[in-house]
Amino acid sequence: MWDCGPFGKLSAGARLSAGRSPAAFDFEFIRAYHQLNAGTELGPGFLWLCDTESEIDRPTSIQHEPRRSWKCFFCFLCSRILHQPETNGWQAESTRDSAPVAASGNDDSLLDAYSRAVTGAVERVSPSLVNIEVHQSAGRSRSGEDRERRGGGSGFVFTPDGLILTNSHVVHDARRIEVTLADGRRIPATAIGDDPASDLAVIRIEQASVDEPGLTAAALGDSQQLRVGQLVVALGSPYGFQSTVTAGVVSALGRSLRSYSGRLIDDVIQTDAALNPGNSGGPLVDSAGRVVGVNTATILPAQGICFAIGINTAKFVASRLLRDGRIRRSFIGVSAQTVPVHRRVVRFYDLPKESGALALSVEENSPAKRAGLRDGDIIVALEGKPVAGVDDLHRVLTDVRVGVSSTLTVLRLTEKLELKIVPEEAAN
């Protein structure tokens, strides 16, 4: 029994017989160790590294050369590396990594969680995505012929009977609307109503034939459940490239965005999902494929600052547009701007806000004129609700104020007055 260090202990198989050369002993030692550990003959790596096969078959014919014996021992070590069994660490790990791919037979196992979330959301909502092409009047030519200009945007089907939600600035004043569905069909559409103050509109496509496939309605989510940092996916047709997908996160919530009508849109979602001209009206969806916003605007000089109207606001506006064809709002007939109120006046009257809406001009035969409002008065409250500026005044002048007598609190110089006013319905 020999103690061979890291090679363990070898006995009968590696015994040095009388008359054997050192080279023959080296070969017998190696063969005995290999059989003891692997239970097989020497592998091809060893045969390839040795000079000739005869040296292995006839170890006694090898001359007494110390270099030859050390060469055989070196060849043995190399053969063990080249012929390592499955217990080798890196080979076993490589086998484990490649096993799921071979078993699955597709690319699903190669996708990470982020990719699966995005692709799953796209697969759910893309059948509801539409491309909208509008034709608007552009005046008359010198010859007296009507001219048209074309525009476009995106939208999504939210009811199976063909109702589509999009932006107001996409379809406003459109003479003709055509919708391209996800399957390539082009169908004419008509506007049900649009609200420039919230930049939302509802259109309806014509009923499809009986033999044509039906429409897929997108699932609507809850924008109040969104969290900053949550994954969102924007879909649309920027620059005419249909079914374009961009992904990002919710950058901020509760933003205010001024529409082209001058009113503020509240509870706007800020995202870094890239939006471009043509994305307007497209859906902003969460990882479950539920629509949580309507893409509306981007800041062109900036990068990654895009906005979408919350789907909860869109639900309210869409329901009113379907019922009335417009959003009813009240007005009092005054042009105003936001100004600060002197701090002494604020403290003296214990006002909740330090600013108000300064009346610049009052329209003739308007509710404000009949109530006795004058130029230079500062509106600080309406029916007990504080008014810190023009935007607050817009918020309190809702449809519920139409025809209802309300108390208008104003500051005239240093005097606080309360006027009775009956707001009227504003014309769209």
CATH of the domain at 300: 2.40.10.10
pLDDT band per the 50, 70, 90 thresholds, residue 218: very high
Q: Please check whether residue 191 lies inside any domain of the structure.
A: no
Q: For position 15, what pLDDT does the model report?
A: 43
Q: Are residues 296 and 233 in the same domain?
A: yes
Q: Are residues 370 and 344 in the same domain?
A: yes
Domain endpoint, select from 61, 82, 103: 82
Answer yes or no: is pLDDT of 330 > 50: yes
Mean pLDDT of the chain: 78
Residue 35 domain boundaries: 2-82
Q: Please check whether residue 254 lies inside any domain of the structure.
A: yes
For the entire predicted model, the pTM comes to: 0.65
Q: Are residues 19 and 76 in the same domain?
A: yes
Examine the residue annotation and report whether 280 is marked as an active-site residue of this protein.
Answer: yes
Q: Please check whether residue 352 lies inside any domain of the structure.
A: yes
Q: How many domains does the chain have?
A: 3
Q: 160-198, pLDDT tens digit by residue? A: 888 999 999 999 888 889 998 888 888 999 999 989 888
Q: Are residues 418 and 336 in the same domain?
A: yes
Listed in sequence order, the residues at least 6 apart from 251 whose beta carbon sits closer than 8 Å to its beta carbon are: 228, 270, 271, 272, 304, 305
Q: Are residues 273 and 337 in the same domain?
A: no
Question: At 347, which CATH number?
Answer: 2.30.42.10
Q: Computed from CA positions of residues 110, 115, 117, 123, in that sequence, does the dihedral angle turn out positive or negative?
A: negative
Q: Are residues 309 and 382 in the same domain?
A: no
- Choosing from 169, 355, 377, 406, the catalytic residue is 169
Q: Is 340 helix (H, G, I), strand (E, B) or coil?
A: strand
Region 275-294 average pLDDT? 91
Q: Please indicate whether residue 233 or residue 40 has the higher confidence score (pLDDT).
A: 233
Q: 224-235, pLDDT tens digit by residue? A: 889 999 999 999
pLDDT band per the 50, 70, 90 thresholds, residue 109: low
Q: Please check whether residue 63 lies inside any domain of the structure.
A: yes
Q: Please check whether residue 278 lies inside any domain of the structure.
A: yes
- Choosing from 280, 330, 355, 406, the catalytic residue is 280
Q: Are residues 364 and 311 in the same domain?
A: no
- Alpha-carbon distance of 379 to 49, in angstroms, equals 98
Q: 70-100, pLDDT tens digit by residue? A: 555 555 555 555 455 544 444 444 444 444 4
Examine the residue annotation and report whether 199 is marked as an active-site residue of this protein.
Answer: yes
Q: Please check whether residue 178 lies inside any domain of the structure.
A: no
Q: Are residues 10 and 72 in the same domain?
A: yes
Q: Please check whether residue 141 lies inside any domain of the structure.
A: no
Spell 64-73 as b/e; 16+ CB within 10 A means b: eeeebbebbe
Answer yes or no: is pLDDT of 107 > 70: no
Q: Are residues 338 and 416 in the same domain?
A: yes
Q: Are residues 334 and 249 in the same domain?
A: no
Give start and end residues of each alpha helix (H) in 58-196: 66-82, 89-104, 113-125, 168-171
Q: For position 84, what pLDDT does the model report?
A: 52
Q: Are residues 65 and 43 in the same domain?
A: yes
pLDDT band per the 50, 70, 90 thresholds, residue 151: confident
DSSP label at residue 71: H
Q: Please check whether residue 263 lies inside any domain of the structure.
A: yes
Q: Are residues 289 and 242 in the same domain?
A: yes
Q: For position 405, what pLDDT does the model report?
A: 93
- Choosing from 26, 199, 286, 392, the catalytic residue is 199
